[in-house]
Amino acid sequence: SSELTQDPAVSVALGQTVRITCQGDSLRSYYASWYQQKPGQAPVLVIYGKNNRPSGIPDRFSGSSSGNTASLTITGAQAEDEADYYCNSRDSSGNHHVVFGGGTKLTVL
Amino acid sequence: EVQLVESGGGLIQPGGSLRLSCAASGFTVSSNYMSWVRQAPGKGLEWVSVIYSGGSTYYADSVKGRFTISRDNSKNTLYLQMNSLRAEDTAVYYCARDLTVTIGHYYYYYGMDVWGQGTTVTVSS
């Protein structure tokens, strides 16, 4: 089955831009989706498809993809963006599974 | 309002069984792909199972043969029957609406856009 790899932790200064990456073979076949999760809360979808934001997600969140790597970019990070971020996609091995990355803890300094 | 509400979690001994429920409002469960995702304490998200709108079901290798996903269309509710529970099944279990679109033999994945608040399952003696 496929795996998605994320850096465990990333930090960014308040107001600066940060990129969180996700690598995996399945990303050559399927778009990555990105989720924000704050402590004690359910995950929230922030990016899906090529680069789409659900209603209510600020436009400072954007997504991109190249080859086997997907990226979530936060332009002008805010204190409230401090959270865990997970990527996910379908497994490309044909088993109908879904895979998640291990998550990236974003700290806003 | 589109919403998912899970219930049924609790403390259960190893080897026991538990059934989780996920009541949907604002949309029709049977018209969507629906997934269960779990999160062990201090760990990341782990996909557990999916049921397609057509009724096909799929499971993570870690739960295959022990867990069963189903739905009751009349109640607009998703279920996860968990048997032969192990300590490693301890987690918060979330149900989520899966936005996969199927066109012919092709699948287009757009993530999970609606999540429940989660229900906690603790497997311990």
Tell me the C-alpha distance between A46 and B90, whole Å.
Answer: 27
Residue B43 confidence (pLDDT): 97
Q: What is the pLDDT along chain B (125 residues), one digit of tens a residue?
A: 999 999 999 999 999 999 999 999 999 999 999 999 999 999 999 999 999 999 999 999 999 999 999 999 999 999 999 999 999 999 999 999 999 888 888 888 999 999 999 999 999 99
Contacts of B59 (CB under 8 A, 6+ apart): B48, B49, B65, B67, B69
**At residue A34, what is the residue type?**
W
Q: What is the pLDDT along chain A (109 residues), one digit of tens a residue?
A: 679 999 999 999 999 999 999 999 999 999 999 999 999 999 999 999 999 999 999 999 999 999 999 999 999 999 999 999 999 999 988 889 999 999 999 999 9
Tell me the C-alpha distance between B111 and B97, whole Å.
Answer: 8
**Quick check: B109 and A90 CB within 8 A?**
yes
Contact present, B120 and B89 (Cβ < 8 Å): no
Which of A98, A104, A105 would you mutate first to test chain B, the one with the most B CBs within 10 A? Answer: A98
User: What is the rounded average pLDDT for all residues in chain B?
Assistant: 96
Burial class (CB in 10 A: 0-12, 13-18, 19+), A10: middle
Contact present, A99 and A15 (Cβ < 8 Å): no
Residues of chain A with C-beta less than 8 angstroms from the C-beta of B61: 1
Residue A101 confidence (pLDDT): 98
Tell me the C-alpha distance between B108 and B106, whole Å.
Answer: 7
Residue B106 confidence (pLDDT): 87
B35 touches chain A (CB under 8 A): yes
**Residue of A81, A89, A6, A83 whose CA lies nearest to A41:** A83
Residues of chain B with C-beta less than 8 angstroms from the C-beta of A101: 44
Residue A94 confidence (pLDDT): 82
CB contact burial A50-89 (16+ within 10 A = b; e otherwise): eebbbeebeeebbbebeeeebbbbbeebeeebbbbbbbbb
What is the DSSP track for B65-80?
TTEEEEEETTTTEEEE
Which of B45, B102, B120 would you mutate first to test chain A, the one with the most A CBs within 10 A? Answer: B45
Residue A47 confidence (pLDDT): 98
The C-alpha of B121 sits at a distance from chain A's nearest C-alpha, in angstroms, of: 15
Q: Which of A1, A49, A96 sits opposite B110 (nearest CB)?
A: A49
Tell me the C-alpha distance between B71 and B80, whole Å.
Answer: 9
